[in-house]
Amino acid sequence: MRWLNLLTQTPALAEIFLEGHNPYAHQKLDAADVDGLRQALQSNEILQAYAIGRIVGAGRGVWAVTDQAVLLREDGQQGVTRIALNQVQMAQAVRGRFGHVLRVHTGGGAYSLFGVARELAAGFHQSLASLEVASQFDDAQAHSRHWRDDAPEGWLRDCLSDARQRLASG
């Protein structure tokens, strides 16, 4: 099954590896992401931030921070991994070769998401830090020219507002 996954993910991976950036990282949540996250949200839980990237060996991934948990969604998988904020020992957002890499460390292991847009990685870090979760952010400039341009003014706020509205309307 991993071979089939590799074949279906090859065009996106080739674009990421050859161009040095993840062209799919600057996006609003798609319908499948909204549906998956909505099912994992508890009543009165508020979305604080999200990030889109790639999970090694698994494909596209979406991570979300709420006021109660970190939600990890893997494309093509049923369900969402839910990590309560008090279970997160440390989070990191470090600049990598293909964008930022998010890492969440818990007592049970570590999770990684690479190819994340700098703005979404910063929002993820700021949300965790504001919720008093230990978080580090590497704000160094990316090597690739594709990552040097910041998103348009208000883009992050617009994406988060859109995600909150779509999650609430279900």
State yes or no: pLDDT of 20 exceeds 80.
no
Q: Which two tokens mark 163?
A: 């995600």
Q: Which helix (H) or strand (E) holds 53?
A: strand 47-55
Contact present, 107 and 46 (Cβ < 8 Å): no
The span from the CA of 56 to the CA of 68, in Å, is 26
The span from the CA of 13 to the CA of 11, in Å, is 6
Residue 6: its pLDDT value, please?
45
State yes or no: pLDDT of 84 exceeds 70.
yes
Beta bridge partners of residue 102, listed in sequence order: 93, 113
Residue 46: its pLDDT value, please?
94
| β-bridge pairing 88-96 and 135-137 | parallel
Phi, psi values for residue 46, rounded to 5°: -115, 130
State yes or no: pLDDT of 98 exceeds 80.
no
pLDDT band at 2 (very low <50, low <70, confident <90, very high): very low
pLDDT digits (tens, 9 = 90+) for 106-161: 998 999 998 888 889 999 999 999 999 999 998 766 555 554 455 667 888 898 89
